[in-house]
Structure 1
Amino acid sequence: MASPSVTTALQSGLPDRYLTPEDVAAIFKVPLETVRYWRKQRTGPPGFRVGVHVRYDPTAVQRWAEQQMAIDAEAA
């Protein structure tokens, strides 16, 4: 699970490091399996591999979240 500093950092600005899948799950308060499913289906924030590890650019995660909010607002 992400440390409180990751969630706090996203609320006050972007963290200065790449995020883990656990960080993304904690930020959106969803199960880790949901983040894995999003990646498999290519419906979530874009991630990339560093060797065997998946990482997320905080800017891309924020942009994805903003896109999801805009889609939701249009549907309402």
Structure 2
Amino acid sequence: MDVQSAPKTLRTTEAARYIGIAPSTLAKLRMRGQGPAYSKAGKRLVVYRTTDIDDWLLKSRRISTSST
């Protein structure tokens, strides 16, 4: 896989903006294991692939507020 075909990665603040939520909400989802897949680069840097965010958003789709 070359660099051009590799999925784009976003830091937490960028990923939160991409989704439309606060970075703290994304961090809470990550801690609970309810958010999109992520990777750690070093001790503190968390990155999300846009493809993983898109997959998570698709899996989270609902058609009613009573859907679980």
Q: Which bin holds the TM-score, normalised by the shorter protein?
A: 0.7 to 0.9
Q: For CA contacts below 8 A with separation 6 or more, give which structure has more relative contact order.
A: 2
> Which residue among 21, 27, 50 is the counterpart of 1:58?
50
Shift of 1:73: 2.4
Give the equivalent residue in structure 1 for 2:3. Answer: none
In our comparison, the structure showing a higher alpha carbon Rg is: 2
- TM-score when normalising by structure 2: 0.75
Give the equivalent residue in structure 2 for 1:73. Answer: 63
Shift of 1:16: 4.9
How many residue pairs match? The answer is: 60
Give the unaligned 5+ runs of structure 2: 1-5
**Within-5 A mapping of 1:1-76:** 16-51=7-42, 52-69=44-61, 72-73=62-63, 75=67
- Richer in strand (by share): 2
Which 4+ stretches in 1 moved above 6 angstroms?
none
- Richer in helix (by share): 1
C-alpha distance in structure 2 between counterparts of 1:42 and 1:16, whole Å: 22
Q: Secondary structure, in 3 states, of the residue corresponding to 1:19? A: strand
Taking only aligned residues, the RMSD between alpha carbons, in angstroms, comes to 2.1
